[in-house]
Amino acid sequence: MSRAARFLLPTLVGLLFLLGWEILVRANDIPPYLLPGPMAIARAMVEDWPNLWASLLVTLGVTFAALAAAVIGGGGLALIFAQSRWIEASLFPYAIILQVTPIIAIAPLILIYVRDGFLALLICAWIVAFFPVLSNTTLGLRAADHGLLDLMRLAGARRWQILWYLRLPAAMPYFLAGVRIAGGLSLIGAVVAEFTAGTATAGSGLAYRILESGYRLDIPKMYAALALLSVAGIAIYAALALVSWLVLRRWHESEVRQEL
Amino acid sequence: MTLVALRGVGKTFSNGTEALRGVDLALGAGEFVSLLGPSGCGKSTALRLIAGLAEPSAGRVEWARRERLGFVFQEPTLMPWRTVLGNVRLPLQVAGIGKSEAAARAEAALAQVGLAGFEASYPRQLSGGMKMRVAIARALVTGPNLLLLDEPFAALDEITRLRLNEDLLGLWASSGLTVAFVTHSVYESVFLSTRILVMAPRPGRIVADIALPEAGPRDEAYRTSAPYNEACRTVSAALKAAMS
């Protein structure tokens, strides 16, 4: 399948879907407070743009801070785990507990204990996002080829040299896959935390706008905020996929195009 | 002069497998010694013991003096994220040798194995035979006096293998290297070696030590000569006796 078709086909499906939606809404005279058509949503987006844009920036602020913390925290913790199986065995179960406990259940507690609103949201989003980075990087650091480990030992390599020349590059594809997952999870974590916080924090992210619009029965604005969240998620994923491609394109199978 | 010797060496792995029992062998300077035997006879383990990649459970490994080692694995074992030059340069980098000197020596080693011009390629762009040449260049780059090869050509096609056999012999003849070569091919070992150690499995041990007489230049003609055929017959018989 050509590149153009890969792009055009889903675009065409999307446009047909929106067209059908608009026709359905108009033909049945469905009021906008039940189901707004795409045109009404677009109008809401334009009219409320300053307000929505400001909220988007707030949500993205939490998302990127959480992603950065997940990359540093997850990657750093994985490096510590790689130094000693004892440390890993002692701490890894707690990382799993943190991961499997639903964030929506922990968030209210965090919001009580952490007075700073931004920090509270950041912690919630980080808890959701850091695990894939941690587990993937831990796996990657251990996945170095045994022959190459023998080679480093024969060359008289020190511990840090084995880490620097062998383990870190070998872990890179795993790490980047973890970061890609963490990107989407950061956004989800930020939104979930905002929902839980509601008006409790000074912040006014997109989740807060959705709640607020819901109370006011401003359904078109709810859809507009939702659309912005989706676009933000797609953009984050695309950006991280690009980073992965830039780093791995010369050598890793996942990013190298096979010539047939 | 003996470079290195195994004295009464045994090796039992932690799962209880006895890989080697009572192995005595000595590698003399300038020799090309093959360890020949079926899979599971401990020939790779013997090589790893010489290299210091494993510790003997019994006996000892004796060195006359510290030697520089080069090791070539069954697989090319290259770092896919490094270029050909980067891979060959690695042992020098680990040893803390400056970038420009390391690059110059790596280029020289690549030229030695006939890979000049491929410095900037990545391993995935090379054929199996070329990858193995890179691995050999990496083993040579530190200027070793003992080269250990663990079935390096087993995964290659016949044509590539014969070619690499000849090139390896050329390297050995021109450099004064001592070579220990693990193989399961009678023909390969006879073509290359000055001495063949035949090994038998369960537990791994050396059952025959066959010195090959100097038979003129080892080239394409040697592969069909009478001394070559004679040696193949002797070695095959020893191997057969070892297996029964």
What secondary structure does DSSP assign to A54-78, as a single string? HHHHHHHHHHHHHHHHHHHHHHHHH
Whole-angstrom distance, CA of residue B23 vs CA of residue B50:
12
Q: Tell me which chain A residues have a C-beta less than 8 angstroms from the C-beta of B138.
A: 151
What tens digit of pLDDT does each residue of B172-193 get? 988 889 999 999 999 999 999 9
- Separation CA A43–CA B178 (nearest Å): 82
Residue A152 has pLDDT above 90, yes or no: yes
Tens of pLDDT, residues A191-233: 999 988 876 555 688 998 998 898 899 999 999 999 999 999 9
Instruction: Give per-residue pLDDT as tens, B23-39.
Output: 899 999 889 999 998 88
Residue B94 and residue A165: Cβ atoms within 8 Å?
yes
List the single residue in B with minimal CA-CA distance to A150. B53
Return d(Cα B33, Cα B25) in angstroms, integer.
10
State the DSSP string of B114-183.
T-TT-TT--GGGS-HHHHHHHHHHHHHTT--SEEEEESTTTTS-HHHHHHHHHHHHHHHHHHT-EEEEEE
**Interchain pair A156, B94: CB under 8 A:** yes
ipTM (interface predicted TM): 0.89
| pLDDT at B33 (0 to 100) | 94
Contact B110, B102 (CB under 8 A): no
Q: What pLDDT digit, counting tens, does each position of B93-132 carry?
A: 999 999 999 999 999 999 988 899 999 999 999 999 999 9
Residue type at B234 in one-letter notation = T
Give the percent of chain A with pLDDT over 90.
Answer: 68
- CA distance linking residue A216 with residue A230, whole number of Å: 22
* Per-residue pLDDT tens digits for A65-102: 999 999 999 999 999 998 888 998 998 899 889 888 88
Whether A151 and B53 lie within 8 Å, measured CB to CB: no
Give which of B55, B74, B79, B148 to mutate to test A binding, by max A Cβ within 10 Å.
B79
Distance from CA of B80 to the nearest CA of A (A): 6
Instruction: Check A250 against B95: CB less than 8 A apart.
Output: no
CA nearest to A168 within chain B: B81
A88-97, long-range: CB within 8 Å, 24+ apart, which pairs? A88/A138, A92/A138, A95/A131, A95/A134, A95/A135, A96/A131
Q: B81: distance to nearest CA of chain A, Å?
A: 5
Q: A148 contacts in B (CB within 8 Å)? A: 77, 79
Average pLDDT rounded to a whole number, residues A179-183 = 95
Give the model's pLDDT for residue A200.
57
Residue with token string 């004796």: B62
- Which residues does residue B196 pair with via DSSP β-bridges, in sequence order? B34, B210
Interchain CB distance below 8 Å, A154 and B71: yes
Three-state SS letters, A131-174: HHHHHHHHHHHHCCCHHHHHHHHHCCCCHHHHHHHHHHHHHHHH
What's the pLDDT tens digit per position in B40-89? 888 899 999 999 999 999 989 988 888 889 999 999 999 999 999 999 99
